[in-house]
Amino acid sequence: MPIESSPEFKTKKIFQKTMAKPTAKKKRVGAVKKISPAKKSVKNSKLPPIDSLDINEPTTKEPVIKSPIKNLNFEKQLTSIYEDNSGNMPNMKRIKVKKERPMLKFFSGLIIIVGLLAAVAWAGFFILPNTANFSEDKVSLQIKGPAQITLGATTTYAITYENNQATQLENAVLNITYPKGFLFVSSSLKAKNIGHNEWDIGIIKPNEKKTITIIGFTYQNEKEAESWRVFLTYQPQKYNYKAQKIATLSVKLTEFPFGLTVTGPKEAQANSDVEYTYKLENKNKAKVGLVYVKPTLDKNFYISTSSPTLDKNGRWPVDTSTTTAKNSYSFTIKGRYANTTQKQADMGADLIIVLPSDQSQTYILAQTKTSTNLSADSLTLSLNINDKSADFSAQPGDALVFKLSFKNGSIEELKNAQLELKIDAPSADNRSVMDWSNITDKYDGDITGAQLSSDIRRGNINWDKNKITKLSELIPNDTVEIQVNLPIRDISQFDLTKLKNYLIEASATLTYQNSARETKSLVSNPIKITINSDLEFETRATKSTTTNGQTHSIQWVLTNNFHELKDIKLTADLYGQADWKLNGIAPAGLASFNSSTKKITWTIDKMPLTTVNVLALPFTVTIQNPNPSQETLVSKVSLQAQDTVTGQTIQLTGEEIKL
C-alpha cells in the first residue's frame, strides 16, 4: 500500500493541519468522548499504537519545544473520527480510492440534458398546439335564412363563420352545395368559380367573425325537400392537418301552386288513332313568369295533330304573369303508335319554368305520366333510312336511301291503296336543303312541295295504283317495297350558313279501303336526321428520295363550312423505323409525336366559321432503314370533333399512307 494511503500518514496530516491553526477555537482539554465497553476498542483494531507516530521528534538537532497538547488523548480523538454512529471501525484494508474523471461526467450530463430538452421541444411542437392552443369546437359555421319558401320568390341567406380562439386559421375555403332549384343571383363576396359556390377565404384571424350574404331565386320541385350544405375547410396555424366544419339548412315550399296531369286510353292498337289530354292547374293564379308544358312521347308514338299547336321545341307556352292568366289550361295531342312488339307505352309531360336571369336556362318543376297497353296490328308499314329505323345524324352532301316496306298480314283484301313519303327538311329562301333535282325512284312517284315555315319545307312523294299496280288490290300476305335515293345538298349547291334549322323528319303513310269500304290509314315509324357540320378530312402525301433516306411530305387537311366545331382531335400511328418532323408550326392547336408509342396527335380547341375554312398540318416522315416487307407508313387517321350547334360528336376516318 502506498504510504500516502496508509492510516498513519492520514493521521499525521490531520495532526499537522491541527497544529497549523493558531486561531482555532480553544476546546476543553480533557473533554474526551467516552467509549462504550460494548464498542470495539482501539487496542483491538489493527491501527498502530499512537505512541509510535513520534510526532514530537525533530528532523534536525534543534532545541526541543514541549508541545502544549502533549497531554491530549489522541487515540480517543482518532477513534471518534473513524468510528460510525454504531461505534464500529472501518476496515482500512478494504477502502479503495477511485480515480475520478470530471470531464467525462460533465459531457455525459450535458448530453442527457440536451436530449431531454429536445424531447420536450418535439413534444411541444406536436402536442401543445392540439391540446393547449387550438380547438375545433371554437370554430363555428352557421347558415341562416328562410326554411319555408315561396316558388319563384327572391330569398336571402347569410353564412357566418367565426374563429373564437387565439389560433389563426389558414388556407380557408368555403364551399356550398345549393338546394336543387336554387338560382344564384349575387353574393356579398365574389365567388372564385363560375358556379358561384366556392370562395377562397384565406386567413381567418384569431377571434374573427365574418358573414357572406347570398341572394337568389328558388324554383323547387313540389315533392322534394332540399337542403343547403356549407363546408368550411381550413388549417390551424402551425398545425399539420386540415379540419372541416359543416352547416346545413333544410328548405321546402310552403305551397306548390301548380298541378299537372295527363290522361289517355288504357288500351291502344298499333296504327289506330289515339288522343291524350294534358291539364295544367294554376292555383291562386300564381305569377312566376313563363312556363312550358312539354309532352314526353313514347318512342313509337307519332303525332298527327296538336291543339294548341306545339312550338318548334315541342312545347306549349303559358305566361303566368299576364292579366289574362287563368287557373286552368288544357292541351291535346292526337297520333298513332307504329306497329311494334312493344307491350306498353308511357306518355307523360314536364312542367318547365324559364329562369328570369337567363332565358336559355330552364328548370323542371313537375312531371307526370300515364301508361297505355299496346296490341300489334296485322298490317305493317316500316321505314328505314340508310338501313336505320331510328334517329341518326348526317352531313351536307350525304346520300340518303329511303326504304318503305308494307305487308298485309290480315285476312282481308285492301283496295285502292296509296303510299305517301313525307320529308320535312331545313330550308332557306324557300329552297330545301334536300337535293330534289337528283332524286332517283324506280316507280317515279309524284312529288309535291309546301313551305311550312320560313325555316322548314316539306316534300311529299305519292304512289298509287297508277305507279304501282299492286296497290289497286292487296291480298293477304302481299308486300310492297319502295326505295328512294335523295341526297342532301352540299356547300357548292346551297348556302348552308343561311340555315337556321338542322333537323330532317321523315315518315310514311298508307291509305286504303277495307272490305267494308271504309277508308283507313296506317303510319310508319318516324325517323329524325340531324344535319351536323360538313367537316371533311383529306390526307395529302408526296414521296422523294434523298441522301438522308426516303422522305414523305404529308398534310392533314380539315375543311368546315357549316357549324362551328370544338374539341377536335386527330390521331394516327407511324410504322417502322422513321423520324417525324413538323414543318413550321401548326395552323391551329397543338401537333405532337410520341416516339415511344409512335403516335401522331393533332388537337384543336375550336374551329370557328370564318373566311378561312381550311386548316392544313404539314409534317415530314423520313425512313432511315427501309423494311422491304413493310407496306404501310402511316395508319388510317381517326378524327373526332363536336358540333357546337347540334351538340353531337362527329367521327371520320382518313386514308392510310402506303409505301
Q: What's the pLDDT tens digit per position in 429-441?
A: 999 999 999 999 9
- Mention every residue, 6+ apart, whose C-beta is less than 8 A from residue 16: none
DSSP assignment letter at 92: G
CA 398 centroid distance within chain: 38
In this structure, what C-alpha cell is assigned to residue 283? Answer: 292555383
* The predicted structure's pLDDT at residue 222: 66
Cα torsion through 452, 453, 457, 461, rounded to 10: 0
Q: What is the pLDDT of residue 549?
A: 74
In angstroms, rounded to a whole number, what is the distance separating the alpha carbons of residues 160 and 247? 10
The values of phi and psi at residue 73, to 5°, are: -90, 90
Is the pLDDT confidence value at 131 over 50? no
Residues 6+ positions from 200 with CB-CB distance below 8 Å: 172, 173, 192
3-state DSSP call for residue 132?
Answer: helix
Average the pLDDT over each of 159-173, 218-232, 428-442, 610-624 and give the range with the smallest value: 218-232
pLDDT band at 109 (very low <50, low <70, confident <90, very high): confident
- 608, with CB counted inside 10 A (0-12, 13-18, 19+), is exposed
DSSP annotation string for 189-208: S--SSTTS-EEEEEEE-TTE
Residue 315 in this model has a pLDDT that exceeds 90: yes
pTM: 0.56
**pLDDT classification of 11: cutoffs 50, 70, 90:** very low
pLDDT of residue 73: 59
Report pLDDT for 470.
94
Average pLDDT, integer, range 261-285? 90
Q: Answer yes or no: is pLDDT of 612 > 50.
A: yes
3-state secondary structure 454-509: CCEEEEEEEECCCCCHHHHEECCCCEEEEEEEEEECCCCCCCHHHCCCCEEEEEEE
Residue 296 scores a pLDDT above 50: yes
User: pLDDT value at position 116?
Assistant: 77
On whether the CB atoms of residues 658 and 631 are closer than 8 A, the answer is yes
Q: How far apart are CA 433 and CA 532, in angstroms?
A: 13
Residue with cell 502544549: 68
DSSP H or E run through 104: helix 102-126
Query: For 504-529, what is the mean pLDDT?
Result: 91
Among 526, 504, 445, smallest CA distance to 480 is for 445
Per-residue pLDDT tens over the stretch 340-387:
778 899 999 999 988 776 666 788 888 999 999 998 878 889 999 999
Distance CA 154, CA 289 (A): 14
pLDDT at residue number 26: 44
Distances (CA, A) of 427 to 300, 310, 399, 440, 489: 27, 20, 17, 21, 11
